[in-house]
Structures are given as structure tokens and as C-alpha cells.
Structure 1
């Protein structure tokens, strides 16, 4: 029978301690609902009475159907020299509608002596009595042993006594915590083996932080040593260097280690979940994140791509679709014949009919990359380059000229005006528009001229604009690279322009972006129409 590992998400509590991260109550509720839909078994929503925001969140969650997900409220052991039943915080936890209560207690002499300032014996009573009080109120209790690995190194017998106190109180889960995030995987494994031997009947969890960049490895090592509950956050958000990243832990447990973790079909939602939480938090998704990053299955080197064409397993550790991601073939000066063929096939362009074209395409690609083009982030421009090199390119319009005038006035106002003169279907078109800068003005003028004839332009919107100087030693005379990302609301594509003149580079990128977008939307509509 396959062993199950239970997932405990603390994004809404521990994850919120990341510097610069703050969600509104509405955003926290959205994340909670999405995590429940994803199937996490335990969802920790914070301290119910610590501040008005958490109070409001718990009020909203009480009315929300979270399905099989069990909501956890978080708190600490009772105050020193106070009965658990007389401690207002403990009573608040007991009165919470949350069926699960997670309490954290001290284990390390450093904290017992300098923070709580109680005797070792009183600390053990605080742990056991707090757990027992909540269990008596019908709660499932998760006990988090703070700084356990530091404590175990300093005084292993007492550290184990703290866990035994939680067990005696009736804790459902006992979770050693690597609170400082400094323990290495071999040490975590060894200590967890000792814990398993000392508490053979206890259900063990693990809670790690990432200060030594080992939080994921430490969590997996703990599971290998007997832990069956893993605490962590989506995308590893958390204080300092973050918490254990559940986005990496979940597929590692399910795919690599063979544990039952989630409903099998949910794993394919992992990439979407990671991006959803990042975007809700107004953070850029990590393109290099394992499993779910945009570049997690991106292949650039020619030898790698040749191996991929032969068998994807040669350079991919799992099928990207398993976690809802997708393979990407990047085109650069490192590319070989196989890359060009694969990318052209992906774009629906036939370069194999005349194999003699491929060396010319490769030579052109490498020449452009030498000039400063960077096609791995400009798929729109690459497709247009392929069309030009294979002789199937049909321009959206023919340029006669464009002009941009920027005027700064004495009152400080800056006005920019662009005029474009183009030919479309044999007819000369002239349009002028104002904008908040040269690129915006050129874009507006082109749309005035073309939108009545090319309605697809209405669906294309600029979402990112980046400028990079390629040779800083030449100062204002340096070659400039402009990258534009555009979207039709469903897909996003990149375009690139390179020139010593930043407006010319911007025009080139803008034109590629619009041309590619128009083709893309027209193809999608034709496919939908059958």
C-alpha cells in the first residue's frame, strides 16, 4: 500500500512574513479557496485574534466551503504560570470554528531562558497542558517544536522530552521545526531517525526554512526518515530566505518518491497555482523555478535540443505536462539544424521541403544574434525572420516613412507627436497621433491608420517594454536592444529590435509585435471557425 504524505500549507501565515508581501483580506480569501480546490489537506490561516485583518479573514472563511481541506488556526502555548483554561489566547483558539489548532512551543534553552524565562519543568507543563486543553475542546492539534534541531544539538534528551510532552497531551501531529533554516539534509535525516525511534507511536511532521537553501531537501529527507506531514508555502514565500517550497516538494514526493500526496489529476494544476499565487501577491513568477518556471523545460543548447528530438527523457527529468508546464525550444546562436526544424515545425513553417535553406537560416540567425538580437525571448520576431528567409513573408503594410517630434515646453510639459506614412493594399495612408512617448505615439498613429482595415489590432496590447544598452563604452552612441511583450488576452509573445537609434529599435520591435499578433489572432479565429 502506498504511504500518504499530508500537505500543510502555511502561505497565509508564514508566507506573509516575506518582506514586501501583503495581501488584502479579499486576496487572502482567493488564495485560500484556490488552495482548497487544489487539494491541500491542511490550510493554516494565521492567528484569528492577532489583528483585525486575520479576524475578518476567519469570519469570511467560516462561511466558505473548503471541501475536504481542514482549516488550521495558529497560536502559542499558554502563558507561564497560567492555567490553559484561564489564558485568553488559548480560549480564543478553543472557541475558533477551525477544526485544527497549531500551537508552537519552545524547545531550545536559549529561548526558554531568555525569551519565555521559565524553568525547563514549567516549559514542559506549558506544552502538555496547552495541547491537552485544546484536545479536550475537540480540536485536532498540530504541535510545532520551534528551533528543534538547534535544541537537539544542544540538549537532545530535553528536546525529546518536549516532544513527549506534546504526545502526552494528545497532539495529532508533532512537528520538529528547523526555524533558523540552518540545518543540512544529512543532519535532518539523522535527527528525525532519532525522533522516530524515541516516539515510535507519534505521527511526525516537518517544518523547515530556507536560510541554507536546503528547505526542500530537508523536508524530503525528513519524509524519508518517517515524517508524514510536510509544512510549507506556495513558491517558498516566507521570512528571510523563505519557507520550504511546496511547489517543489509536492511533485518530488509524488513523482520521484512514490508517495500518495494529492488527487492524481491535481498535480497538473501546479504551474497554474504557482502563477496564481504569485500574481495575486503582485510578485513576478520565478521563470527559473523548478517544475513550474517558464524556463524549467526550456532547451537552448544545440546538443541538448538534438537529444530532445531523439528522446525527451535525455534532458527532461519529468514530462512537463505532469505539473501543467510545457516544453520550450529556445532559438539562439547555440542552435543547430534540429532546433531550426523543431521550432519551424512548432510554428507551422515548412523548412524541410528544401533542406538547403536550413544552413542559410542558421547563418542568418547567428549573424543577427551577433548584432545583438536575442530570439529566445522574441518568438514573434523569430517567426517573422523564418518567414522572410523561406520567402513566405507578407508584410502587414509597406512603410513610406515615419516621423516623431518631441517638444519640451517652458512650463515643463512634454508632448510627443508621431506621423506614419504607409501603404496598405495599394492605398497610401497617413496618420498622426500624440502619445506619452515616441513608442506610444507611433503605436497610436499606426492604429489610427490600420485598425479600420485590420481589426485584429484592437485585441493586441503592449504588456512589457524593456531597453538595454549593448555596448556601454560607446555611451549615447551605443547599440540599443528593445524588447516588447504583447498579449491578446490569452497568449503573450515577444518581439525585438536592435539599432543605434532607440526609436528605430523600438519601431522594429513594435512592428514585429503587431505583425505577429495579427497573424496569430487570424490563425486562431480561422481554426475556431473550422
Structure 2
């Protein structure tokens, strides 16, 4: 049996049924292009018979320059007691202009009686007629046997009849669906093995994740003979989601030696997963296998000491194979090995026997004990390490800051910040307003520095998070503020901790600006101002 497995992505259709996920036509076109670059074989674009958005997608998708993926339209078998040539949904698939149709039909007798409210014989006719009609129009037809495993367990003979009818009508694929997501891997293996022996048609698997087994069930089905796997990027989908292609792809190809996509395309997996997540405006879990930012992250000092000798000691796979990278986290659990690794990443020469280096290790542990968290604030950590190695200077000194909040009758609340800095031996005093105290401080800080560093206008605060560290202290609790900043080329994160949320925010903002001015970003000094200062000093 061939070891090649076709990948069918339904992120744009089944994935959008997940709670909180909505994609515009433009979003769907961008994701389709990205999935094609990843190397998937089929991209299910939507259901043209259900809404105008999907009709527009299929029309515009004709202009996409896809290298290999086939766009497929989704629909159902004909309505009961209706000629397929008169069925609106089937004809919408034809009008979409796709070369591949994916239609679903009922495999579970319970559904035939309760949902369709028709006879078992009419359901068989609906399946046969629909597949035959689409095949007669020249389309490749993928038949999704909805609720197949539940149907098989309740009425094996009838469930088998439904997919045999699809195969007899000329279906190119029969896909067995665990629609309720309740089957166990052992059941999947047994049933797919039985189907593969009886149906003269290539088999696929479509699994849902209601028992946290969609990936395992998909792999079990491939072992039993399935040669198409349907799923979504990041496991998006209704209820608990669909089978996660971000885990299925590397498991099949890198662990089990099946051929899915090229090795070069596999290195795009992490990038694609994060791209889709970004477009969908959904945060990826840090610990998502293979593609999560923590998938190859190491925190414990003993672990880090070992991976410095050989990564294989605590990594099951070379992260670069899936486009990810190894990360070492620095925290209260860190030993010297963690700092050695981070220093190597930053091309810093840290002498671990040096008293100042040891002091930095202790300082990091003390700060984490106070509530700081450097795992998500690499820029703040880098500033500490560069300070320890003597490679960073304070480009400005904070003399003082003040924030006021004012609300006049029938007007919006406004904040004003006053900041006094020492920059290159000059004292700078600025006032700025904002729609909140943090925004006002950010504006005042930039205003104070912009004459010295005009490129600072290229950076902006892209994310702001506040976390209460000890909830039992209520409004007197310490808070941790994480600030993410960006320019046109880079993103960096900084942290601040205090019982006062303004103070914690100020710490993170100041670190963000300090990091930008170390030359690690696109922010550069004002050369004219530097020359002017030199001339003034010479006089």
C-alpha cells in the first residue's frame, strides 16, 4: 500500500464553525494561498449553497495562483424526493467553478429517521444520485460519510451500504467521519480496517476532538488504510475542534515515514500555523505541540545543562524541521546553564565565575520571587544580561514622572503625564495627554526622546497585559504588566511589577524604550542633533 497521504484542509469551512472564529473573504483568500504554499492537497473553501460570503470566495479564488492545492466546495446530498438536476445546493457547487466537490450524507440510520425524516432506501438513493450527478459533470467527488462510526456501531450493515453506494456511483474518495468525536483509537482501527477490505475506493478520515483523540484517531485510521486526512490548522472547529493538522503532519511524516508534503514545506509549518492564528485573531496555546512557542522551550536548570551538551537529551525532534526553534527560559528555576545559553544567543561573553554574573543570576531569581516573569519578556532579560556584561549604558535617566486623571461634567476622562528625563547631559521636561494614564505616560516619554531619537516614532505599543499576582490581596495586590512593542521589523516584550499598576506600567514602558535604543531595533539616534550637541559643547 502506498505510503503517500493526501492532506485535506477544512480550516476555511469546518474551522470557522469554532466559537469566536470569523473570517472575511479576504482572510480566507490569504489563508488559502498560505495553505497552498504549505503543500496541502485540498482546501475546502466553504459551502456555496449556504451564504453569499462563500459564493464570493469561490469567485475570487479563481484568480489565485495555486501551485498544487485544489479548491473544493462543500455541500450535502440532494434533498429527499428531489431530482439532483433540480437540487439548489448541488447546482451551487457546480456554479462555484471548482473541480472538486465534497458532499456529505447520512450513514447512521438514527439520523436518517430523525434528521432527514425519510426511509433508509431513499437515503441510499440520495447518496448515489448526488455522487453520480456531480461525477457526470466532470468533478472529482469526495464523499463524507457523516456520523459513520456511530452508525457503524449501531447498524453495521446499513452504514456499509451507504458508503458502498457512494463508491458504486463513482466517488473518488470515501471519507469516514467521527462527527461527534466520541470514538476510541482501537475502534477507529478496527472499523477502518473492515471498510478498507470491503470498499473498492480510497478511504479518508475526518475526526473531531471531543475526547482529545482527533489526532490519535486520524493516525490510527492511516495505519488501518486511510490515505486522506481531513483536519484544520491549530485544530480550529466546532465544540472541541477538529483534528489538528499541525500535529498530524509531523507525526505522520517525521515520526511514521508517511509522505505528506516536502521537507522544505514542512519547515513552513510553524510559520503557517501562526499566520492562520493571527489572521483568525486567535491566540495559539503556548504549549501546542510542534508549533507552539513553548514546544521546544526549556526552563529547569538541569534540562538546560543537558541540552547544551546535546539537544536530543530533552527534545524529541529537531525544532527546525517544523520551522520552530529551541528556547531557553530564564526564571527562578534557572541555573547558570540557562544564562550561558541566553548569552550565547545574544553573542555575549559571560564569565560564569565572575562575581557580577553571579549577582545577575541572584537578581533574576529575586525579581521572579517578587513577581517578575522573564519568560515572556525577553527584552527586559536581555537588558539585565547586557548590563552584567558591561555592554549597555543608560541612554536616559528618569528624574521624575507624574500622572493626573481628570473628568469634567459630560466629557470623557482624560489623562495627563509630566515626565522629566536626563538625556545626553540635557534635562528634558515634557507634558503629554492620553486616553488613559499609561497612554499619557507613553506619549510623554516619546515626546521627551523624539528630538534625540526621531525614529522612535516608528515604534508603537502593540499589546498590553496586566496580571494580578496574588488575588487574595484584592486591590492592594501586586500586578505584573507585560508590554509588547513593535517597529516595522521587530517585536519585543518587557515587564514591570508593582503594587501600583501605573508604576508597573512605567517600568515596562521604560524598559521598552531602553531596549529600542540599544540598537536592537530600527530606532536610531538623531545624527543632526548629535552634531549640534557636539558643536555646542565645543563652544
Length-normalised TM-score, structure 1? 0.94
Residue 191 of structure 2: aligned partner:
191
Q: 1: CA distance between counterparts of 2:374 and 2:91?
A: 61
Residue 533 of structure 2: aligned partner:
none
> Does the 8 Å contact 2:152/2:159 carry over to 1?
yes
Q: 1: CA distance between counterparts of 2:63 and 2:399?
A: 63
How big is each residue's C-alpha offset from its partner over 1:281-338, in whole Å with a ceiling of 9 and x where there is no partner? 2222332221111111111111211121111111112111111111111100000111
Comparing 156-165 and 202-211, the one that deviates more: 156-165
Q: CA deviation at 1:188?
A: 0.7
Q: 2: CA distance between counterparts of 1:479 and 1:112?
A: 59
Residue 129 of structure 2: aligned partner:
129
Q: 2: CA distance between counterparts of 1:366 and 1:350?
A: 21
Residue 78 of structure 2: aligned partner:
78
Q: CA deviation at 1:181?
A: 0.6
> Does the 8 Å contact 1:405/1:417 carry over to 2?
yes
Question: Could you say what secondary structure the match of 2:497 adopts?
Answer: strand
Question: Could you say what secondary structure the match of 1:238 adopts?
Answer: coil
Residue 384 of structure 1: aligned partner:
383
Unaligned ranges ≥5, structure 2? 526-539
- Residue 384 to residue 91, structure 1, CA distance change in 2 (3 Å): closer
Q: 1: CA distance between counterparts of 2:244 and 2:345?
A: 33
Question: Which aligned pairs between 1:189-228 and structure 2 lie closer than 5 A?
Answer: 189-199=189-199, 201-228=200-227
- Residue 96 to residue 516, structure 1, CA distance change in 2 (3 Å): closer
- Residue 88 to residue 509, structure 1, CA distance change in 2 (3 Å): closer
How big is each residue's C-alpha offset from its partner over 1:148-198, in whole Å with a ceiling of 9 and x where there is no partner? 100111111221111111111111101110010111111111111111122
Question: Which aligned pairs between 1:165-314 and structure 2 lie closer than 5 A?
Answer: 165-199=165-199, 201-314=200-313
Q: 1: CA distance between counterparts of 2:55 and 2:472?
A: 57
Residue 23 of structure 1: aligned partner:
23
Comparing 78-87 and 373-382, the one that deviates more: 78-87
> Does the 8 Å contact 1:331/1:340 carry over to 2?
yes
Question: Could you say what secondary structure the match of 1:375 adopts?
Answer: coil
Q: CA deviation at 1:476?
A: 3.2
Q: CA deviation at 1:413?
A: 3.6
Aligned residues: 525
Unaligned ranges ≥5, structure 1? none
Q: 2: CA distance between counterparts of 1:75 and 1:462?
A: 44
> Does the 8 Å contact 1:15/1:237 carry over to 2?
yes
> Does the 8 Å contact 2:517/2:524 carry over to 1?
no
- Residue 440 to residue 231, structure 1, CA distance change in 2 (3 Å): same
Residue 485 of structure 1: aligned partner:
484
Question: Could you say what secondary structure the match of 2:268 adopts?
Answer: helix
Q: 2: CA distance between counterparts of 1:88 and 1:445?
A: 61
Q: CA deviation at 1:226?
A: 0.5
How big is each residue's C-alpha offset from its partner over 1:94-122, in whole Å with a ceiling of 9 and x where there is no partner? 45421111111111111111122222222
Question: Could you say what secondary structure the match of 2:432 adopts?
Answer: strand
Comparing 156-165 and 208-217, the one that deviates more: 156-165
Residue 32 of structure 1: aligned partner:
32
Comparing 329-338 and 317-326, the one that deviates more: 317-326
Residue 364 of structure 1: aligned partner:
363
- Residue 374 to residue 83, structure 1, CA distance change in 2 (3 Å): same
Q: 2: CA distance between counterparts of 1:360 and 1:96?
A: 67
- Residue 523 to residue 81, structure 1, CA distance change in 2 (3 Å): closer
> Does the 8 Å contact 1:337/1:358 carry over to 2?
no
How big is each residue's C-alpha offset from its partner over 1:58-90, in whole Å with a ceiling of 9 and x where there is no partner? 111223332322121212122223333343433
How big is each residue's C-alpha offset from its partner over 1:247-289, in whole Å with a ceiling of 9 and x where there is no partner? 2111111111111111221111111211221221222233222
Question: Could you say what secondary structure the match of 1:377 adopts?
Answer: coil
- Residue 493 to residue 96, structure 1, CA distance change in 2 (3 Å): closer
Q: CA deviation at 1:503?
A: 2.1
How big is each residue's C-alpha offset from its partner over 1:436-475, in whole Å with a ceiling of 9 and x where there is no partner? 2222222222222211112342232111112223233333
Q: CA deviation at 1:515?
A: 0.5
> Does the 8 Å contact 2:263/2:321 carry over to 1?
no
Question: Could you say what secondary structure the match of 1:124 adopts?
Answer: helix
- Residue 325 to residue 428, structure 1, CA distance change in 2 (3 Å): same
Question: Could you say what secondary structure the match of 1:243 adopts?
Answer: coil
Residue 534 of structure 2: aligned partner:
none
Residue 466 of structure 1: aligned partner:
465
Q: 2: CA distance between counterparts of 1:85 and 1:415?
A: 64
Comparing 378-387 and 407-416, the one that deviates more: 407-416
Residue 529 of structure 2: aligned partner:
none
Q: 2: CA distance between counterparts of 1:251 and 1:347?
A: 30
- Residue 70 to residue 477, structure 1, CA distance change in 2 (3 Å): closer
How big is each residue's C-alpha offset from its partner over 1:395-450, in whole Å with a ceiling of 9 and x where there is no partner? 12122222222223334442322222222221222112122222222222222221
Q: 1: CA distance between counterparts of 2:338 and 2:290?
A: 23
Q: 1: CA distance between counterparts of 2:159 and 2:306?
A: 51
Q: 2: CA distance between counterparts of 1:496 and 1:401?
A: 20
> Does the 8 Å contact 1:488/1:517 carry over to 2?
no
Question: Which aligned pairs between 1:126-165 and structure 2 lie closer than 5 A?
Answer: 126-165=126-165
Length-normalised TM-score, structure 2? 0.92
Q: 2: CA distance between counterparts of 1:127 and 1:435?
A: 63
Q: 1: CA distance between counterparts of 2:169 and 2:137?
A: 12
The yes-or-no answer on 1:319 pairing with 2:315 is no
Comparing 98-107 and 426-435, the one that deviates more: 426-435
Q: CA deviation at 1:2?
A: 6.5
Question: Could you say what secondary structure the match of 2:46 adopts?
Answer: coil
> Does the 8 Å contact 1:147/1:178 carry over to 2?
yes
